Amino acid sequence: MSKQANKSFDNKKLVGELFTLTYGALVTQLIKDFEKDEDVNKQLEKMGYNIGVRLVEDFMSHSNTGKCQDLRETAEILSKVAFKMYLNITPTVAKWSPANDEFSLILDNNPLVEFVELPDEHREINYSNILCGAIKGALEMLQMEVLTWFPKDSLKGDDVTELRVKFVRRLTDALPAGED
């Protein structure tokens, strides 16, 4: 009986590791293809953007959240529902700017970087840049233009990985009827 339980637990872990391995293979291939670190970062962000625009519909159809009234609500839902649903982690929301238009997500255990160490020749790579792109793409589909970047990255020697999100403006050109 306990052997069965062990087996199922290991299975989930193995799937998670497969995800980490796959992402790692992706980044190394991009490095081989593009050579320059900033090109790799740009590609990762583009890929994340494409994932984000599609993932947002899946998120909305499975989570029953209504429209967020302000950025604080968006931050809460991002960290407690979205990250939990897709990566099974709950980053902490912190460091709000005085105008309440910027916030940080502190990621303590990022599944993407589980066994990763950045080599010296690729110091500038934002390894988890796909997350930046995904958040940007998803929020853009919900009519919010945001900027996302990593002010701190644990792979580069900082103590935590911090993803900063800055609200730029509301996109009003493609508003669905009923939202203003």
Partner 1 sequence: MTIYSVYVVNKAGGLIFQYDHSRPSQENEKTFSYPLELKLEPQSDGVSVVFGQRDGIKIGHVVLSVNGKQAHGKKLEDGADIMQVISEEENYPISIKFGRPVLTSNQKIMMASMFHSLYAISVQLSPEHKSSGIHKLEVDTFSLQCYQTQTGVKFIVISDPRQIGVDLLLHKLYAIYSDFALKNPFYSLEMPIRAKLFDVNVKSSVEQIEKTGTVV
Contacts of 164 (CB under 8 A, 6+ apart): 95, 102, 103, 104, 105, 148, 149, 150, 151
By C-beta, is 8 or 61 nearer to partner 1? 61
The least CB distance from residue 55 to partner 1, in Å, is: 8
The least CB distance from residue 94 to partner 1, in Å, is: 26
Nearest to 165 by CA among 38, 71, 98, 40: 71
Radius of gyration, alpha carbons of the chain: 18
Residue type, 4: Q
The secondary structure element, H or E, covering residue 104 is: strand 102-107
Cα–Cα distance, 69 to 112 (Å, whole number): 31
The least CB distance from residue 43 to partner 1, in Å, is: 16
**Residues forming the site for partner 1 (CB under 8 A):** 53-58, 60-62, 67, 141-142, 174-180
By C-beta, is 60 or 160 nearer to partner 1? 60
By C-beta, is 131 or 144 nearer to partner 1? 144
The least CB distance from residue 78 to partner 1, in Å, is: 14
By C-beta, is 2 or 64 nearer to partner 1? 64
The DSSP code for 97 is: -
